[in-house]
Amino acid sequence: MRFNAKDLALLARRPSGYFDKEGKLKICRVVGDGKLVEPRERWCRLKGNLLFLMKNKSSEASEVVILERCWIVEFRSKTNVSIVLKFQSGEPDLYLEAASKPDCESWAVVLGEANSEGLQNKIQQLRRLIMEIKEERSSDEAQQFLPSSQIDSLGEPQFTSIQRIANEPKLEFSLACKDLVAATRDRKLNTFIQVSVVHPAEHILTRYSSTEIVEGTRDPLFLTGVTFPPEYPIYEETKIKLTVYDVKDKSQDTVRTSVLPDHKEPRADVGRSFLGCTTFRVGDLVKSKEQQLTLTLRTSDGGKTVGTIEVSLVKMGELEDGETDNITTDAQDQKCALVRECTATEGLSGKDNLPSLNAVLKNPICKLYRFPTSDNKWMQIREQMAETTLSFHVPKELINLHIKEDMRRNQELKDLGELAPHWDNMRKSVIAHCDQMLSLYQDTLAELGKHTGSSFKSSCSKGEKTLEFIPINLHLQRMHVRSPRLKDALYDVITVGAPAAHFQGFKNGGLRKLLSKFEAERRNTGYQCIYYSPENTAKAKEVLSNINHLQPLISNHADLLLNSASQHSPDSLKNSLKMLSEKTEMFVHAFKDQLVRSALLALYTARPGCVLKKPAVPRTSAEEGADLQHQDHPSQIKRQDSIPHHSEYDEEEWDRVWANVGKSLNCVIAMVDRLLEKDNVGNVKEGENDPSAADCKVLPTGGDWYEQLYPLVITLKDCMGEVVTRAKQSMAFVLLQELACGLPQCLMLTLRRDIVFSQALAGLVCGFIIKLHTGLRDQGFLQQLHTVGLLVQYEGLLSTYSEEAGMLEDMAVGISDLQKVMFKVIEAKSEDFLPVITGRREHYIIEVQLPAKMFELLPQEIKEGKLLRMYPVLFNVGINEQQTLAERFGDTTLQENINQENLELLKEYYKLFTEKMPPDCLPHFQEQNDLKGLLENLHQNIQAKKRKNVEIMWLAATICRKLNGVRFTCCKSAKDRTSMSVTLEQCSILRDEHQLHKDFFIRALDCMRSRQTQGALNESDDPETGCLTDNKPTSRHFYPVALLLVSSHLLVVWLILSLALLLAKYQ
């Protein structure tokens, strides 16, 4: 070519706004042996396909590079990106490097597009898009010729919907290519297809999903399908664009961009180059007789054919009975099976359970895999991952209950009455601290009420104070398997980050260590307060809870009794008396504990006028074993006789007050019996000769029933009120001692425990609801649920090194606290199916609401409100490189103790199960392993103390599934380790229970762990963390297994070198 040097020099001196891009770059030539000449900094200006190189911004252009018949190669690293221009003419390569990574990436984009062929490609693409838009608008333009009345009736553009089964995907199809053309004859292509959608109403091209990469063939059979969920706006008029890319080398960190780049697509796929594209209408595929389209792939300019694409319609649930031998050799080497993505929640019980499930699950993502079985048949696997609204609902309900409970406790402390100065100052200090904590709970609840957006907490938010009650990455992972000859099977795993107080940190360990240390310190408090054991403190809370629960019930039943008497209704009178008697007996029984008596004495000595005769001394361990005796007769406290207005404490007074309630109830019963006997309605009751009736002054039985019962009921209420007043004050005094002995550590530990419990409970409620919906038609499971209870097995993958040891301690306590949670199933009275939480700390009841049709399927015991028990167990095995350090240089005692303790709990559940349940109620598995043998094997593996013994996790999971339990898998953030464990478990189930072909085990595992098939997810976003990442693995992209199995010696060397470099850096 001939160029006018003067014109080029004049062009290079144009103002900055004239150029497409300009800036400083380090530039050098690459000589023939591959060596680089020393790079020199140049001011570069790009205009069209001309790149001007200048020494500085104001100097003359020293060189002009014509960007024709060349291509761009990027070399990426963690810190920068460099560019190499390669020329087809054989000229030396031109090396370019920018000052920053983003700047270099932007240069790569503009240089890749700076050529005449690229401009022509843009023009052709715009022309095709204009033609597509014109075709879509033709129907709109036709409306101009309609009468105005018809136009008004049409309203929005009318599109033809795709008719499918309710709650099933609207459209599914699979893809395959044939006769793809490579750049060179001897090159084997590594291809994938990117799927984009042109919406008929918006005329905007939207990237939707992509297939897996198929390596080494020009006829790839893509076993990754495409699915559009039920709510997706897709119609017969919708157009779908399929773009085929060639991946040069996945293992190298380079990106090759062709001369004709597809600039509209994200540049996130490593080493890809454009091959061809095609477009089709959805209606053409749906209405085709063979339900298949064969489309021609063309280059961007539309002039060259580079192969064909076969699009085959897929209908969910239609199994293929054909043999797998018809798959070509190239296809046999591929590593993934049919995958589909959708966002539809599936329920096995039909439409009736969809509203209640949809109230709990949100934003589910489904995939479908098709794998060959050992007998050369196809099985379909639907995999679903869904968020849950319970991530925020349960913590908000809990915090609200905490606030009410703490406000009630503060009021009870204020109602203690007049206390001696020492105790009064202690009470003021406790109330002040409690008010601060109450304000913290209220602020947290207010912040959670403002939360909008995602229904789960991402891992990058685990350190946020306002979200510390929210579980991390709580999801349902469901696998639904359909085999040719086996019954459909459903396998659920709840994945969640380890319940732990991340914001508070783990510098001093977790709850397990902190609680033990706090209890030891509290025993040695000294004379400031009276020590009550944790058991006594828990008993005091239980007594207060029973009072608050039973007193209004008794009062209500007493009123109902009087109402029945006023109506002169014998049957109603009997029923009211029965309920009143039952609740009063429960009320009286709640105060039989010796703790109430001893607390009353302690409270008496704390009143003004009582002083310490001698100071208390720290108690020995032998004295601690006799707490009740010390509390009954505190030798260090004596009353001062010089104060006459106080009488001596009468220890029998409480017995008389407490017994008056029972006597008053007997009087009511005797009177009702006499009234019914005289009325000749009921049978003659033997209560006339009841000696307890001798204590009652029975009124004459003539006259109105109401008038005769009223004074007796009032007496009962008065006696009960006296008992409640004394018992409340005594128990509040016990709680005062608990709080005063450990301020402020006691309240901070309570807060930490509440945080951990909130995270654990949210997962448990989710798991229970999902399990209940799944087993509604399984009578054996429902019988087990109300007869024995539900086994909940947690699989922990935390190491016992550094902070994760503290997380494990928190998690162990949080899961153990779930033993005190009870479930109750009720019939929903409205469209709100979210669970309702009642109760107090250490005693919560979760009311799960079901629609009427589902509620009728339950056994009578559950429908009558029987409380359902939970049996949570935790087995932990650290599997990462930090666990190797812990095993070599640290301590694994924590993990061993947790596994041993929970093994005993699992054995207790199995013993209870075998005593109350028939063996035929258990689910049937292909692998008929004896449960007793599995438990023994688990016991041996725990005792063996083998390093990274993952057999413990597999055995525990198998036992849980065989006992109809709920499975949880947890690690620090419920991402990499959790996902590896879940996918390995799923493939193992397919192999053991559904005859997955042995040659496809690794391929199935690779498919489930692949990031490439993430679909419509933004490739720069982590779907679980919600954070922008830089080449970080997403929730389905995992570190290689080899990283977990690397030699411990190499890890030691790596650790030493890292420490040496770190020291050198800061010296």
E strand or H helix at 152: helix 148-154
Nearest to 347 by CA among 154, 463, 457, 480: 480
The Cα 22–Cα 831 span in angstroms is 62
E strand or H helix at 283: helix 282-287
The Cα 718–Cα 711 span in angstroms is 10
The Cα 208–Cα 1026 span in angstroms is 19
8 A C-beta contact, residue 387 and residue 826: no
The Cα 979–Cα 1037 span in angstroms is 8
Q: Where are the beta strands (DSSP E) in 31-146?
A: 40-47, 50-54, 61-66, 70-76, 81-87, 93-97
Structure tokens at 1008: 């489930």
The Cα 3–Cα 243 span in angstroms is 39
Q: Which amino acid is at 64?
A: V
The Cα 970–Cα 441 span in angstroms is 27
Beta-bridge partner residues of 746: none
Q: Which amino acid is at 53?
A: L
Q: Are strands 171-178 and 221-228 parallel, antiparallel or unpaired?
A: antiparallel
DSSP-derived letter for residue 36 is B
Backbone angles phi, psi at 446, to 5 degrees: -65, -40
E strand or H helix at 765: helix 745-774
Count CB atoms within 10 A of the CB of residue 806.
Answer: 25
The Cα 830–Cα 838 span in angstroms is 19
Task: Give catalytic status of residue 434 as yes or no.
Answer: no
The Cα 85–Cα 30 span in angstroms is 10
Q: Are strands 81-87 and 843-850 parallel, antiparallel or unpaired?
A: unpaired
Structure tokens at 69: 């018949």
Backbone angles phi, psi at 119, to 5 degrees: -65, -45
DSSP-derived letter for residue 39 is P
The Cα 237–Cα 361 span in angstroms is 31
8 A C-beta contact, residue 64 and residue 56: no
The Cα 194–Cα 209 span in angstroms is 6
Beta-bridge partner residues of 72: 85, 257
CA angle 839, 845, 849 (to 5 degrees): 125
Q: Which of the residues 741, 971, 987, 1007 is marked catalytic?
A: 971
CA angle 842, 845, 847 (to 5 degrees): 160
Sheet holding 843-850, edge to edge: 361-372, 378-388, 475-482, 489-497, 966-971, 790-796, 868-876, 821-827, 843-850, 836-840
Using the structure block, give the residue that is written with the tokens 């001093």. Answer: 508
Q: Which amino acid is at 109?
A: V
The Cα 673–Cα 660 span in angstroms is 20
Asked, as a colleague might, if the bond just before 484 is cis with ω within 30 of 0, I would say no
The Cα 520–Cα 550 span in angstroms is 35
**Residue count of the chain:** 1067
The Cα 759–Cα 807 span in angstroms is 13
Judged by DSSP in three states, 995 sits in: coil
Using the structure block, give the residue that is written with the tokens 């789960």. Answer: 456
Catalytic residues: 971
